[in-house]
Amino acid sequence: MTRSAPQRKIRVVIAEDQEMVLGALAALLEMEGDIAVVAQARDGRQALEAVRAYKPDVLITDIEMPEMTGLEAASALKGSSTRVIMVTTFARPGYLRRAMEAGARGYLLKARPARELADAVRRVNQGLRVIDSELATEAWVETDPLTDRERQVLRLAAEGVSTGDVAKQLNLSAGTVRNYLSEAIDKLGAANRIDAARIARGKGWL
């Protein structure tokens, strides 16, 4: 009698900057017989390194992380064999829209029941999308007016980085940085850069 080969487990990397949440997500998925957590990362850069080293089927990542955001990590993996699921506290249509544009296949809120994450891993691994339907509808109602460069400049400026230092980090002139900030403030109808960042974050655009 021929014995069938054991079913291959879905290989997963998890990226989350809150250690307690990272451990909890890994523990929950390890309880599933068909899923194996092959690596854990605490920021987007570590996540990319882990994906390149372990070549998982699925990357589960938070959005807001140090070094590199989950959105930037997803964008860097666009076109690769690793499918990306965003797991976040932010129920913001703008984040969902940007996640989809970055190539993510799933978008789940941390408030959802734990069993939904394992189900999402299986469905995304099969090539399906897993997105909250109500949030998906809202995501396309209001368009993000910021360009990627305006977003970069505004994010750094809102963190208190001086115009000169922003220019050095992004290899731009100080005048160009001021122009990007002015454009972003004008597009968002904001009073200043701090107000612009507040509006953009509230929409999930930053």
The domain locations on the chain are: 10-139, 148-203
Shared fold status for 10-139 and 148-203: no
Domain 148-203 has CATH 1.10.10.10: yes
Name every residue whose Cβ is closer than 8 Å to that of residue 93 and which is 6 or more positions away in sequence. 135, 138, 139, 140, 141, 142, 203, 204
What mean pLDDT is predicted for residues 91-105? 82
Question: Does residue 6 have a pLDDT over 80?
Answer: no
Domain 10-139: which CATH number of 3.40.50.1970, 3.40.50.2000, 3.40.50.2300, 3.40.50.150: 3.40.50.2300
> Residue 134: what pLDDT?
60
pLDDT of residue 137: 55
pLDDT the model gives residue 112: 79
Share of the chain above pLDDT 70, in %: 92
Alpha helices in 40-192 (DSSP H): 44-54, 70-76, 93-101, 115-125, 133-139, 148-158, 163-170, 174-188
* Ranges 110-119, 123-132, 137-146: which has the least confidence: 137-146
Alpha-carbon span 6 to 182, nearest angstrom: 59
Q: Which of 83-92, 117-126, 173-182 has the lowest mean pLDDT?
A: 83-92
In angstroms, rounded to a whole number, what is the distance separating the alpha carbons of residues 178 and 103? 31
Name the pTM for this structure. Answer: 0.67
